[in-house]
Amino acid sequence: MKSIAIVGAGIMGNGIAQVAAEGNYKVFLYDVNAEGLEKGIARIEKTLSRNVEKKKIDQSQSDEIHGRITPTGNINDLKDVDLVIEAIIEQIEPKKSLLTELDGICKPSTIFASNTSGLSITEMASAVRRSDKVIGMHFFNPVPVMQLVEIIRGEQTSDETFEIAHQVAERFNKTAISVKEAPLFAVNRILTPMINEAIFVLSEGIASAEDIDKGMMLGASHPIGPLALTDLIGLDTMLFVAETLYNETNDSKYRPAPLLKKYVRAGRLGRKSGQGFFTYD
Ligand code: CAA
């Protein structure tokens, strides 16, 4: 494994590109949206210069990491990479179309990993001929900080693909856990109902947003409250994730909080739009 392409330069994609470059891989960061790509690169530059200021790395290391990342809007640049990690919108159809397109472009040995938060890896693999080379590598936000990667095998994922995904996670300086394919895997299966419940508590007027978050930070030792965390993840992504759990299980206990839907419809998407449960500059 020498070269990795990340598809999607959003919150997750740019973080994955950074840790891949820090792991000494040659990285392509691909996005169809030129503005999104520019923003993603700017975000990486900001994190790297913060790390230089904090003396975690020196300027030449920062330049080297930066130099290993090639931004591109041309999908054909991905033809020779060893691994693609997709981090596009959290919906199955766009992910399947992307994989089908990549299947026709990338060399036969390229592995396709998805950073999905809980969609079926087996279904994604059905969109390509190389279904033994499709796997889930689920990172956590903010990627440069969070230590975990969940590794999820689809029905046809080979042992070799699984081993390689573990090795890559290690080179990214992350800790991997193996999780069976199931709606939302393990971490989000636990985290999402907690966040959804916090939104119900808010909408029922039981406590203010500030007090809900203060309560979970001081009463349960969470590093950040559930509503601020939703603002960090993005309310739209959180809604997609919550809907996956609800639709896949058909269990009403997982129904997404109506307030979450309402905020998403109003464009209150969290930090990225400047307003979610809280307001940002
Ligand atoms: N990129 C890079 N570095 C970042 C960062 C970012 N976006 N945000 C924060 N950091 C770094 C800071 O620079 C700081 O580094 P140092 O320790 O070297 O100074 C460190 O993280 C701590 O940051 P802060 O002091 O600013 O603030 P904090 O102590 O509140 O930490 C946090 C921020 C790391 C985000 C922390 O609040 C936290 O751990 N929150 C929980 C995050 C979490 O649960 N993520 C999982 C989300 S679920 C998910 O991602 C799955 C999904 O599929 C939906």
Q: Whose CA is nearest to atom 52 of ligand 1?
A: 117
SS3 13: helix
Residue-wise pLDDT for 228-247, tens only, equals 999 999 999 999 999 999 99
Q: Whose CA is nearest to atom 6 of ligand 1?
A: 142
What burial letters (b/e) apply to 92-108, b meaning 16+ CB within 10 Å? beebbebbeebbeebee
**What is the CATH T-level fold of the domain 3-179, as seen in this structure?**
Rossmann fold (3.40.50)
Residue 132 CA to residue 141 CA, distance in Å, equals 28
Q: Whose CA is nearest to atom 19 of ligand 1?
A: 54
Q: Does domain 189-273 have CATH number 3.20.20.70?
A: no
How many residues does the structure list for the chain? 281
14 Cα–ligand 1 center, Å: 15
Share of the chain above pLDDT 70, in %: 100
Residue-wise pLDDT for 2-31, tens only, equals 999 999 999 999 999 999 999 999 999 999
Instruction: Answer whether 144 contacts ligand 1 (Cβ < 6 A).
Output: yes
Its pTM stands at 0.93
Residue-wise pLDDT for 120-170, tens only, equals 999 999 999 999 999 999 999 999 999 999 999 999 999 999 999 999 999
77 Cα–ligand 1 center, Å: 32
- Show the DSSP H helices in the chain as ranges: 11-22, 34-53, 59-67, 92-105, 121-125, 159-171, 187-203, 209-220, 226-233, 235-249, 258-265
Residue 25 CA to residue 5 CA, distance in Å, equals 10
Catalytic positions are 117, 138, 150, 188
Q: For residue 44, what pLDDT is reported?
A: 98
Which residues make up the CATH 1.10.1040.10 domain(s) of the chain?
Answer: 189-273
Distances (CA, A) of 54 to 30, 51, 72, 231: 29, 5, 30, 26
Q: For residue 107, what pLDDT is reported?
A: 98
Sorting pLDDT into bands at 50, 70 and 90, what band is 69?
very high
Instruction: Answer whether 116 contacts ligand 1 (Cβ < 6 A).
Output: no
- What's the rounded mean pLDDT across residues 214-239? 97
Residue 167 CA to residue 255 CA, distance in Å, equals 37
